[in-house]
Amino acid sequence: MIVTHSGFMLLRKILGMSLFFAGLTLAYGQSSTTSTDPLNTLTPQPPRRVIGDFSDLVEKASPAVVNIRTTERVTVYQVPSNITPQDQAEFLRRFFGIPIPGLPQQQQPRTPNQAGPKSQEQERGTGSGFVIDSSGFILTNAHVVENATTIYVTLTDKREFKAKLIGSDPKTDVALIKIEANNLTKLPIGESSKVRVGEWVLAIGSPFGFDNTVSAGIISAKGREVNDSITPFIQTDVAINPGNSGGPLINTRGEVIGINSQIYSKSGGFMGISFAIPIDEAIRISDILRTNGRVVRGRIGITITELNKELAESIGFTGKARGVLIRGLDPNAPAAQSGIEVGDVILKINDKDIEKGADLTRTVSEVKPGTKVRLLVWHKGVTRELNVPVVEIDTPRKS
């Protein structure tokens, strides 16, 4: 086919326009279906989880949370306002042993003083708690009610009761009290063993005396060993302040999974780290307190420190640096009488490996006194198995 110059130019224009529109179509199709942008692909994405507000949950849980106020009876000495200097001197002599100036010892007055001891009740502190039984049983912290002469419980409807202390366990910081009331709202009990790090949780309590204050956060960690407690705590970033102690830690299903107990702080106020007693352990302790009024724990009479690489090398321990090193013994206690010596390493208890000191302490404390524990002990290069009796931790020691 012969194409004239003008025809060729027309054909060229038509071809160019066709390629242009084809390019637009291709470009549009790519941007709509197969974009190379990795942030804009067609791969199905899971729906984002949106956390709603907690108002319904709080509305249901709040009536089960109580404010606890404690008082203690103290002895004070009062001095009459109309006393003379001679009376003041006699007061100092009588109660502080300071003689009256200018008088020999034999002439010091011995007349009764008008001032004297007087017993009065004073505020001791405040805390929180929560109802676990509609008949009036309430869980709180042992340190909230420690040394209290009177325990007052205030409900959300402003009714106030005097509470009876059923039992307290300072080792786990759990206390059980009871008020004479019926048909109370109670919190459902969850399972702290199933909590997950990152899970949303709420705290309700009375920080600084402000009743029914709610704060929210997440589970930061589990199994935290804090101070000398035998309880592995739940760590959260929920705001906890003085007065929150004893209040519930609640999951998004409205179940209590812990008792708020401690904070880590350099200022005395909340700094982003708080600790709660797992509810599984708290309920176990409360059941014992309800039955016996106290928790009986076992001991074998040892002082321990966790074994590390340096300690292991210093005593010639060539195995994996695990277990606990014996650094002290009660000579009248079962461990010493069973042949354990200072410098020995306890590797297992009842066939369970000991990874840290709390493993041994917790296991022994939960053994019923009068029974035995089986220990695998390393002694100067040789391992041996010993059956060691457990005695009650509060049993008076022989002199």
Q: What is the reported pLDDT for 355?
A: 83
Choose the most confident range, by mean pLDDT, from 7-16, 89-98, 369-378, 387-396: 369-378
Q: Which of 348, 307, 300 is nearest to 325 (CA)?
A: 307
Name the residue ranges covered by the structural domains of the chain.
64-99+115-178, 192-292, 298-392
Kind plus residue range of the DSSP H or E element containing 372: strand 372-379
Q: Transcribe 120-178 into DSSP letters.
A: EEEEEEEEEEEEEETTTEEEE-HHHHTT-SEEEEE-TTS-EEEEEEEEEETTTTEEEEE
Tell me whether the CATH fold assigned to 64-99+115-178 matches the one assigned to 298-392: no
Alpha-carbon distance 10 to 74, whole Å? 112
- The topology (CATH level 3) of 64-99+115-178 is Thrombin, subunit H (2.40.10)
Q: Which residues are catalytic?
A: 143, 173, 245
Interval 321-365: pLDDT, tens: 788 999 999 999 999 999 999 999 999 999 899 988 888 988 999
What is the rounded distance in angstroms from the CA atom of residue 230 to the CA atom of residue 359? 9
* pLDDT value at 43 more than 50: yes
Check if the beta carbon of residue 199 is closer than 8 Å to that of residue 189: no
Helix (H, G, I), strand (E, B) or coil at 375: strand
Give me the mean pLDDT over the 316-324 stretch. Answer: 83
Task: Please tell me the CATH code under which domain 192-292 is placed.
Answer: 2.40.10.10
The more confident residue out of 161 and 29 is 161
Asked if CATH classification 2.30.42.10 holds for the domain at 298-392, the reply, yes or no, is yes
Helix (H, G, I), strand (E, B) or coil at 232: coil
Count of alpha carbons within 13 Å of 268, Cβ hemisphere only? Answer: 1
Confidence of residue 107 (pLDDT cuts 50, 70, 90): low
Alpha-carbon span 127 to 135, nearest angstrom: 21
Rounded Cα distance between 90 and 101, Å, is 10
Predicted confidence (pLDDT) per residue in 170-228, tens digit: 999 999 999 999 999 999 999 999 999 999 999 999 999 898 899 999 999 998 888 77
Cα–Cα distance, 190 to 326 (Å, whole number): 38
| Residue spans of alpha helices (H) in the chain | 5-33, 55-61, 85-96, 142-145, 279-292, 309-315, 334-337, 357-365
pLDDT category at 124 given cuts 50, 70, 90 is: confident
Confidence of residue 30 (pLDDT cuts 50, 70, 90): very low
